[in-house]
């Protein structure tokens, strides 16, 4: 780098310039504008501007040389490693830490610490519990040890983790409401539509207590469970959650959490989207009040007979953008005779709909039914596979017919214990139940939705379609975060455990948004887990992970890099300061 002085309207302007090579060609670029001669006189306290500028450029050249110099790392093949000295550190959590501080969780921890007046570092504990839940999900005891793998070492003891869990449980509502307010500065929160769903988590115990109760397990496990209700916004980002005993009817969990959101989050106008299992009549009526509305899935099978006949009738179907009505049976016959694959797929991808308003149980709502040949083929494919399993089971006779689930292949097996004459048979005969297959197949391709909105059908369907994201969020917590089985017994600590899972999910979702959702949660977590640095002491940190498109994208989006051949200790300190801004 060198000095350049240009004259502009009789004023000398000082620049730092540099020669670079682009595509093999020499080019001079401006690195920095130092200012006019008068401006430099003020900066240099009267020192000669040219002399000051040259000293400044000499400093820049020295810094650049320091960064580009080769650092020799001396190792001896005869020297043993220092015993019990950790040399490998994870830096993947850096990206989580940046979002942690953007959400001002450190300030939330400071407020909580001031309120309760404890001496341990609550912020350090909470942050390590969150980073570990994403990167090294394990028990609290293992988390304490694993947190030592991070570049920044923990400054607390194991006993402090368990004390902090009680505080997290007490301050759960405050944490959730503050997180929502702070997240508004980090991302776009689409609160016009909110998605709600429930799941449960099992404990490897036999005796239930006041909180861990026997109930209908989503995973069909014979263990006591607790239940989580989760609200997600229209962008797929977690909004709020609640925990309930395992025997609580999940339909009763929606209204209390929704009232909490209205009060603590200052939200009043939104549409609640749920599945049929959470759409009790009381919940629907509750969301007709004020500026709220609802969208919920509706089982065609459970409709009253006259509505079911209307829904399954082949006549009266519509397509968006067309004034015509269609008969889906006639289209199905036409589809059989089409040989052009592109034309066939075009019809298969069409979504037909019909709608009507219904008034039942003091509630007026709009029933929308859709039909798709593609969805029909998918459901038939799934059932055909189950029928094949049923046939194989009959041949092997290695199964029991008790405890049939709604999606179990055993529902297609019929057991006959009497003869044609009505007498008790000596042997039980197992056959495929064609009546069950026929009853189920009539619903293939049909999908029902109820709402009190008058919006266009395509917007209602589009909004309802995003419910899969909340189901994926539960899958992430159960699989990637290993949120169950839970090895805690005290209710406050169990609640704190799921608060940590909730915050971890929020941070992971924001990270996905930051990189434009180009990678799955599994790919991101696996990448962060593998981002390790080898500490060479005063020489610095050497990355021992594979540089990929994902690591490049993460570094570009967050404004720092850990993938140089070596990062000196001073540069590492700069990175750690960047994370906390």
Specify the pairing of strand 363-371 against strand 446-451: antiparallel
**pLDDT more than 70, % of the chain:** 94
For tokens 């069909």, name the residue: 220
> Closest Cα to residue 486, out of 125, 170, 227, 144?
227
pLDDT of residue 231: 97
For 443-483, the pLDDT digits (tens) are 999 999 999 999 999 999 999 999 999 999 999 999 999 99
Reported as type and span, the H/E element at residue 520 is none
**pTM over 0.85, yes/no:** no
In the block, which residue shows the tokens 């839970």?
486
Write down the pLDDT at residue 537: 86
464's tokens: 């309802």
Tokens of 313: 């009738």
Q: How far apart are CA 557 and CA 578, in angstroms?
A: 13
**Do the bridges between strand 293-298 and strand 271-274 make them parallel or antiparallel, or are there none, so unpaired?**
parallel
In angstroms, the CA 458 to CA 479 distance is 33
Residue 184 corresponds to which tokens in the numbers above?
């508004």
How confident is the model over 279-337, as pLDDT tens digits?
A: 899 999 999 999 999 999 999 999 999 999 999 999 999 999 899 999 999 999 999 99
The three-state secondary structure class of 352 is strand
Which of 199-203, 270-274, 340-344, 416-420 comes out lowest in average pLDDT?
A: 416-420
Angle between helices 172-183 and 105-116 (to 10 degrees): 150
Does residue 141 carry a pLDDT above 80?
Answer: yes
Q: What is the pLDDT of residue 22?
A: 60
Q: How far apart are CA 301 and CA 224, in angstroms?
A: 31
177 close to 264: Cβ distance less than 8 angstroms:
yes
Count other C-beta atoms under 10 Å from residue 277's C-beta. 13
pLDDT at 68 over 70: no
* Alpha helices in 147-224, H assignment, sequence order: 158-170, 172-183
Q: Which range has the worst mean pLDDT, 49-63, 85-99, 357-371, 434-448?
A: 49-63
């Amino acid at each position: 780098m060198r000095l350049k002085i240009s004259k502009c309207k009789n004023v000398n302007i000082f620049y730092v310039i540099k020669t670079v090579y682009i595509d093999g060609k020499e080019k001079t670029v401006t690195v920095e504008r130092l200012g006019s001669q008068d401006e430099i006189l003020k900066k240099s306290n009267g020192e000669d501007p040219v002399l000051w500028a040259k000293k400044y450029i000499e400093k820049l050249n020295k810094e650049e040389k320091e960064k580009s110099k080769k650092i020799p790392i001396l190792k001896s093949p005869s020297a043993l490693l220092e015993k019990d000295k950790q040399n490998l550190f994870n830096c993947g959590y850096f990206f989580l830490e940046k979002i942690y501080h953007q959400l001002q969780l450190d300030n939330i921890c400071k407020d909580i610490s001031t309120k309760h007046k404890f001496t341990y570092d609550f912020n350090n504990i909470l942050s390590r519990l969150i980073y570990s839940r994403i990167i090294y999900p394990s028990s609290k005891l293992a988390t304490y040890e694993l947190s030592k793998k991070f570049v920044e070492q923990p400054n607390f003891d194991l006993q402090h983790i368990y004390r902090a869990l009680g505080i997290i449980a007490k301050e759960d509502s405050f944490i959730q409401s503050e997180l929502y307010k702070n997240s508004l500065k980090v991302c776009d929160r689409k609160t016009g539509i909110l998605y709600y769903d429930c799941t449960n988590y099992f404990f490897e115990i036999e005796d239930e207590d006041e909180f861990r109760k026997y109930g209908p397990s989503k995973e069909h496990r014979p263990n006591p469970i607790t239940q989580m209700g989760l609200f997600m916004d229209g962008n797929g980002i977690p909004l709020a959650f609640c925990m309930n005993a395992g025997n609580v009817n999940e339909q009763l969990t929606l209204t209390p959490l929704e009232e909490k959101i209205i009060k603590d989050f200052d939200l009043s106008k939104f549409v609640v989207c749920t599945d049929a299992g959470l759409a009790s009549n009381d919940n629907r009526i509750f969301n007709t009040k004020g500026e709220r509305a609802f969208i919920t899935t509706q089982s065609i099978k459970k409709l009253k007979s006259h509505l079911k006949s209307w829904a399954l009738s082949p006549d009266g179907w519509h397509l968006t953008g067309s004034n015509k009505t269609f008969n889906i049976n006639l289209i199905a016959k036409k589809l059989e005779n089409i040989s052009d694959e592109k034309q066939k797929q075009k019809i298969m991808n069409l979504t037909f709909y019909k709608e009507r308003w219904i008034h039942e149980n003091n509630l007026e709502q709009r029933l929308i039914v859709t039909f798709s040949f593609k969805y029909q083929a998918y459901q038939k494919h799934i059932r055909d596979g189950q029928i094949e399993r049923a046939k194989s089971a009959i041949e092997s006779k290695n199964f029991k017919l008790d405890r049939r689930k709604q999606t179990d292949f055993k529902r297609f097996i019929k057991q006959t214990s009497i003869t044609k004459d009505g007498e008790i048979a000596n042997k039980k005969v197992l056959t495929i139940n064609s009546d069950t297959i026929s009853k189920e197949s009539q619903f293939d391709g049909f999908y029902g939705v109820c709402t009190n909105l008058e919006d266009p059908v395509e917007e209602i369907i589009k909004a309802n379609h995003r419910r899969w994201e909340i189901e994926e969020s539960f899958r992430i917590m159960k699989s990637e975060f290993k949120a169950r089985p839970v090895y805690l017994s005290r209710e406050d600590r169990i609640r704190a455990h799921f608060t940590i899972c909730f915050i971890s999910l929020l941070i992971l979702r924001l990270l996905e948004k930051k990189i434009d959702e180009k990678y799955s949660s599994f790919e991101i977590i696996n990448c962060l887990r593998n981002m390790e640095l080898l500490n060479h002491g005063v020489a610095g940190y050497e990355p021992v992970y594979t540089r990929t498109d994902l690591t490049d994208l993460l570094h570009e989006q967050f404004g720092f890099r850990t993938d140089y051949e070596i990062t000196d200790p001073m540069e590492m300190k700069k990175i750690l300061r960047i994370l906390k801004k």
